[in-house]
Amino acid sequence: MANLPDFMKYKDKFSESGFVEKISRVAKRAGSKLVYAALILYYTLESPKVSLKDKAYIIGALGYLISPLDVVPDAIPIAGLSDDLAVLVFVLQRVWGDVSDDVKEKAKSKLSQWFDDDEIGNADDVFSTEPSETPV
């Protein structure tokens, strides 16, 4: 995870509606792992157990995800979302101890909106930044 972009400058890019629109639009192409990581971070924002500093990291990471201007443009097949996944996994590792089982289940449940059971199972290894399946 070397050479992460300065995702914290994207905090002002985050909005709930922007997040929902982006995830809905890129879910299948992004893969279940990226979507699962993003959903966990999104739902973790609601937790009172998470510090304000960590919430700022989450907002920065989600802002980076939904921003059309990031280091590797999302339109580039496969590689275009790899930087987004790296940022999400970096922040997810930071806050993982504060992620409740309820948040994990809520995120998995939401995955069923875009993925079948096999694809959802690929999200279990969320900390690997390797693509979990071939994008559609």
Higher-confidence position of 128 and 65: 65
Q: How confident is the model at residue 56 (pLDDT cuts 50, 70, 90)?
A: very high
pTM for the complete prediction?
0.79
Question: For residues 102 and 32, what is the distance between their CA atoms, to the nearest angstrom?
Answer: 18
Q: How confident is the model at residue 58 (pLDDT cuts 50, 70, 90)?
A: very high
What integer pLDDT is reported at residue 16 of this predicted model? 86
**How crowded is residue 71: how many other Cβ atoms within 10 Å of its Cβ?**
16
Q: What percent of the chain has pLDDT over 90?
A: 36
DSSP state of 126: T
